[in-house]
Amino acid sequence: AKRKGRGLTQVYKEKLLAEQERNFAICQALKTAIAQNELSVLFQPVVAAESHAVVSYEALLRWNSRDYGPISPDEFIPIAEDTGEIVPLGNFVLDAALGQLVRSGYHDNPLKMAVNVSLRQLIAPGFLEAVRSSLARHDVRPGDLVLEVTESIFDTRQQPIISFVLHQLDSYGVEIHIDDFGTGYSSLSRLHELPIHALKIDRSFVHALDTHGKAIIEGTALIARKLGIHIIAEGVETPLQARQLEELGIEYLQGYLFGRPSPKLMESHRIQSA
């Protein structure tokens, strides 16, 4: 048993080392990703539950590294958050997303764009200015920009700055949505403290609609409604899930059923939103 134990420790150490080496390599490659044109942004629609009309798009970052090939945001975003590289990356996404919105006929047919924002980015100096200047540069109404943040905004140590930034954004008219809702700190009791416009129910609950998911979604929807907060369900893959969510009173849906992330905004939003 002793020998086996040592063997496992060795395997574990090697795995950890390999992981650290990869993280370091990714971290280095990320620094030149923007300049080398390795980044792109895809767009996934959010639809109204009743009509299935597109109401907004979410911008999702993609990285195709010259040296390492495509790397998932689930892998490189946490690294970029650690190194601070998320700040230039985040600015890139914001600008690319608003640029694509405008090129897709925004000025004739207004539509909302949602952009993911890491906590590190939100509280970095210059964030508010970056948002304002990007909105101004593209002539997009602040009310048509949604910023998706996670429950990490309830982090108590950073509360003064987080609260300041969110209230500033709110005063511009920018919407704040909480992403992956239900997976982090249970923050239902603190929802009223910050200017939150909508919750995005994490897809793990949508995929568990036939077990524990239903009760959690129902409970969240009940409280959100009382607080005047909208609800979006993400990860909707089947017509049955869509129907169940609509019956629970969820207003907006997003998922492969309605559209995968794609480089262009769908033509059809014009017809549907008209």
Query: Which residues of this chain interact with ligand C2E, rule CB under 6 A?
Result: 44, 60-61, 72-74, 77, 90, 93, 116-118, 179-180, 203, 235-237, 255-256, 261
Tell me, residue by residue from 117 to 156, as one string, x for binding to Ca ion by CB under 5 A and - for no binding. -------------------------------x--------
d(CA 30, CA 78): 12
CA distance linking residue 171 with residue 207, whole number of Å: 36
Find which of ligand C2E, Ca ion, none residue 138 binds, CB within 5 to 8 Å per kind: none
Q: What are phi and psi of 38, to 5 degrees?
A: -90, -5
Question: Cβ(213)–Cβ(206) under 8 Å?
Answer: yes
CB of 1 to Ca ion, least distance (A): 40
Considering the complex, what minimum distance in angstroms separates the CB of residue 112 from Ca ion?
13
Q: How far is the CB of 1 from ligand C2E (least distance, A)?
A: 41
Q: Which two tokens stand for residue 74?
A: 């689930």
Q: Which of ligand C2E, Ca ion, none does 237 bind, CB closer than 5 to 8 A by kind?
A: ligand C2E
146 contacts 107 by C-beta, under 8 angstroms:
no
Report the residue from 116, 118, 152, 254 that binds Ca ion according to the rule CB under 5 A: 116
Residue carrying structure tokens 């509280």:
123
Task: Yes or no: say if 234 and 203 are a contact pair by the CB < 8 Å rule.
Answer: yes
Q: Which residues bind Ca ion (CB under 5 A)?
A: 116, 148, 179-180
